[in-house]
Structure 1
């Protein structure tokens, strides 16, 4: 009996403090039989029954099955349903693990590295399907051995740096004209920087995922202290948004544009999304570090599924009084709700949060003592995953 299809499983075990093992996936055999996968420490399948090497859980996450001949599903390290599970969902690009390199190597073998002129370090990952369809111009060179690489060629002219940006724009304009990538949409005057580049260069925000460029975001959690404990102002995204529709978000969040500092992005977004005054935000907001993540997109992210999305999130906290009430300002948000800690955890457990925003909330819970080494057995691993080393430079100085 061969397992032919992986089905999503909506329900997860209770988040954080309660860590009871539960279903981790569901398989359908060729003849239609359904198998719910449960674990104690691991599940051993008969070697005569080949299985898929991924499970679909919550956000269509790919969780690697390990073991001899791919016959074991390791619950402790990859499939635990709790805070560890949430971080595994959000950071679903495989880690390099010395004794288990198959998942990492398989992922790399399917990707193309993106290089800028006069720079030996890559700055992005492209899928085979993107490279094959992209209408490359003579400004780009594709190399297939020993690694698959896309090189932007340096032009013999004084303004070669500006020419590099124009070359990227040109290939994207052609792709848009031919409607190759629907996710590109209409051209907008909004660019992300290519982080870590040796010179100032940007790329259209809507195209950054096509090239697997490291993105930047500024996210703020707004909370209030009440007689019944801390509560959080949580917005729900508009059901008609092209990306992550109808999902929960952080109170204020937005992409940091080229030439923009993270805090200035936050001030702008706070006004646009939540009608927070610039004076209040500049006076009371507390910078709380960063969270790094590496996510493989699914259909909820909009655009092409399976795109590489490494990113840096600049994290901020803002405490407000109980008299402050949030209401939607624009069409991006359908509602704001004031949620208790347990309600936020429940929403994360149910997969209601946009993945990056769930990690920001977990980071908040760690920094404010709701998740500790005493109540979360995977505490150290979770903290490490929230600050994952990305495969590309985020600063030209390193």
Structure 2
């Protein structure tokens, strides 16, 4: 990565803060910051957009809600046409939730989004990976229409644990029972990324969207076949690793699904240092340091040795 070019790019964006806290929570495009009635400081480099009102979660959330509802009603941002009525958290430097924000609105402030990704797979007689159950999104879906996605995937709502989200998404999208997912799904880390929104995502192009997905693998027997039970899901196909590799190179997959599958390939030895010249670079970029506060508590700090 060209570090100088990255710094120059970041310094042209507004850094989003809440009052009495210098922590940068996200990056905001200048044309977006200009529409907010909050405190905008153009004298510093980088400039800042600060939510000055509110002193706790509830009061900040109310200001955010009022602001975003106004933008929605006045059609200030097309991304708000995908209003979901679902809240997402914004975490502070101490792991506390600073405020809640409508799911459709968080890209405007560039804050970190959290999701889950399930990859169900089968093995061949030799024990290798035979196929992965891949979801194709409906061509009528509001975002990423027609692209490939994980067996089940979705955003983590506020006050909901990732695994609970996974169970719900697996049932809603793939008709997989809670019993099956609880017994077979295994947590296997995360991928983190910094995405610039494209036209196929809907809404304003160029919004900065850092994100993190909690990953789960689930080996299933041959008689388990996911079935579509969601309007946004067209169907499922059992794809070989080689076929999925081709689909990734052809850009027929959701961006974070591509990352999740590459991580899957690394963990299962399909991609390794002997068959991929950029193996180290790929491995590092799957776990990007976002530079913003993220959710979580330390296992190490909460257990005595």
Length-normalised TM-score, structure 1: 0.70
Distance 1:166 1:122, change over 3 A: same
- Paired residue for 1:123, among 25, 43, 48? 25
CA RMSD after TM alignment: 1.8
In the alignment, what sits opposite 1:370?
270
Contact 2:119 2:216 in 1 (8 A): yes
Poorly superposed stretches of 4+, deviation over 2 Å: 186-189, 195-200, 226-229, 395-398
Shift of the alpha carbon at 1:216? 0.3
Q: Which consecutive unaligned segments of at least 5 residues does structure 1 have?
A: 1-94
Q: Is the 8 A contact 1:135 1:174 kept in 2?
A: no
Cα distance in structure 2, aligned partners of 1:208 and 1:96: 27
Greater radius of gyration (CA): 1
Task: Check conservation: 2:90, 2:112, Cα contact below 8 A.
Answer: yes
Q: Is the 8 A contact 2:33 2:40 kept in 1?
A: no
Deviations 1:28-54 (A, max 9, x none): xxxxxxxxxxxxxxxxxxxxxxxxxxx
**Gaps (5+ residues) in structure 2?**
299-305
Is residue 179 of structure 1 aligned with residue 81 of structure 2? Answer: no
Residue of structure 2 aligned with 1:290, choices 171, 174, 190? 190
Q: Deviations over 1:82-121 (max 9, x none)?
A: xxxxxxxxxxxxx563xxx1x2133113211110123221
* 1:255-313 per-position Cα deviation (integer Å, ceiling 9, x unaligned): 01111111111011011001111111111111000111011111011111001010111
Q: 1-side partners of 2:157 and 2:296: how far apart?
A: 18
User: Per the alignment, in what secondary structure is the counterpart of residue 238 of structure 2?
Assistant: strand
Query: Does 2:245 correspond to 1:345?
Result: yes
Q: Residue in 2 aligned with 1:213?
A: 111
The residue number in structure 2 matching 1:241 is: 141
CA distance in 1 between counterparts of 2:47 and 2:199 reads 26
**TM score, norm. by length of structure 2:** 0.91
> Paired residues, what number?
293
Aligned to 1:196: 92
CA separation of 1:388 and 1:160: change in aligned 2, threshold 3 A: closer
1:153 aligns with 2:55: no
Q: CA–CA distance in 1 between the matches of 2:58 and 2:36?
A: 20
**CA shift digits 1:315-362 (9 cap, x unpaired):** 000010011122211211112111111111111111111110000000
